[in-house]
Amino acid sequence: MITRRLFIGASAAVLLGRESESAAQPRIPRIGVLVGAAPPHPFVDAFRRGLPTLGYREGQNIALEIRYTGGRADRAAELAAELVRLRADVIVTHFTQTTRAALAATRTIPIVMVVGAPVESGFVASLARPGGNATGLSGMDAEIAGKRLQVLRELNPRLERIAILGTTPTTNPYSGPYVEDLRKAASSTDLRLLPVLIDGPDEFEKAFSEMAKAGAQAVIVQDHFDPHRQVLIELAAKYKLGYMSGTREAAAAGALVSLSPDWLGLYERAPVYVDRILKGARPETIPVEQNTKFQLVLNLKTAKALGLKVPPSLLAQADEIVE
């Protein structure tokens, strides 16, 4: 016969055993992922694809806290602070705005960034020795700037003036390095650049009108505006400007051409940095990896509408051709 005292004692022992077993289970790493756009975005899918190759299974030995800013700086700051409160072990950031927000929120939690110009933006001291709590991958924008001008000149040998549609530095600090890289690339050519920096999409029409009046024949659009690509495509057609984008999606939708770093490849490489940090490496000593591959997409239908003949040499270089 089991007495009440024995029953209570046995029950307590079982509960203590369960608590002890639970306490013995290690806490799985929590990774904050801060995306500077609205969902869905290829950054998240590519990042997830890279995890299993390193032995990580979401929900089993790693947890992801994914947040989307919708491209808003205020949301980036709020969500970065939220990830810090959640005690993320590492914060992964997508592009300049989210990286800046994460660095403002913490100088102790390691940050793995995928950005265009980390040194020029002040995120790291150098690519070889980042020196702070951020490291990651760079799109090599200084190198790609010259290639963008070269591709536009090959598409239009009579090209003389190129507009740059970007955001004001107060809206997106990346605009400064973006425009400066293009200026440096153009300095050794006879091309003239016309930077047109605006606060938001409500200024698109005015900006394109200004470009056309200034005699621009093409426009390079900062990636920050890519969510509005359809409006930009329509305006470029209206004002007869060759629209160059930094995303293949824009060229596939009707922009003249896109030239970009291999962002998907960089996104899939980001988990490698997370893995190294979780295994004890310090971000200040991990060199920033640079993109070495560029992707060229040409839209032949748009080229024809603009009266441009794409040379065979450029067709041979294209990773994708939209007919």
- In terms of Cβ atoms closer than 10 Å to its own Cβ (0-12, 13-18, 19+), residue 252 is middle
Domains of the chain, CATH where assigned:
30-139+262-292 (3.40.50.2300), 141-261+295-322 (3.40.50.2300)
The lowest-confidence range among 15-29, 234-248, 283-297 is 15-29
| Mean pLDDT to the nearest integer, 298-313 | 97
Instruction: Examine the pLDDT at 261 and tell me if it is beyond 70.
Output: yes
Instruction: Examine the pLDDT at 3 and tell me if it is beyond 60.
Output: no
Q: Which one-letter amino acid corresponds to residue 33?
A: V
User: Among residues 252, 246, 72, 75, which one has the least CA distance to residue 165?
Assistant: 246
Which string of DSSP letters, residue by residue, matches 98-130? HHHHHHHH-SSS-EEEEES-TTTTTS-S-SS--
User: Among residues 231, 303, 270, which one has the least CA distance to residue 43?
Assistant: 270
CB atoms within 10 A of CB 84: 16
* CA 298/CA 318 separation, integer angstroms: 7
Asked if residue 244 lies in contact with residue 220, where contact means CB atoms within 8 angstroms, the answer is: yes
* CA 219/CA 236 separation, integer angstroms: 8
User: Among residues 248, 264, 295, which one has the least CA distance to residue 46?
Assistant: 264
Four-point Cα dihedral 175, 39, 296, 185, nearest 10: 10
Q: pLDDT digits over 142-192, tens only?
A: 789 999 999 999 999 999 999 999 999 877 778 888 899 999 999 999 999
Distances (CA, A) of 278 to 88, 98, 312: 11, 21, 48
Q: Distance of alpha carbon 118 from its chain centroid, rounded?
A: 12
Q: pLDDT digits over 17-71, tens only?
A: 545 444 556 789 999 999 998 898 999 999 999 999 999 999 999 999 999 998 8
* CA 281/CA 283 separation, integer angstroms: 6
Q: pLDDT digits over 118-139, tens only?
A: 998 899 999 999 999 999 999 8
| Mean pLDDT to the nearest integer, 75-104 | 96
Backbone angles phi, psi at 15, to 5 degrees: -65, -45
Q: What is the H or E stretch that residue 255 is in?
A: none
Asked if residue 76 lies in contact with residue 99, where contact means CB atoms within 8 angstroms, the answer is: no
Average pLDDT, the chain: 91
Which string of DSSP letters, residue by residue, matches 189-254? SS-EEEEEEESSGGGHHHHHHHHHHTT-SEEEE-GGGGGGHHHHHHHHHHTT-EEEESSHHHHHHT
Confidence (pLDDT) at 156: 97
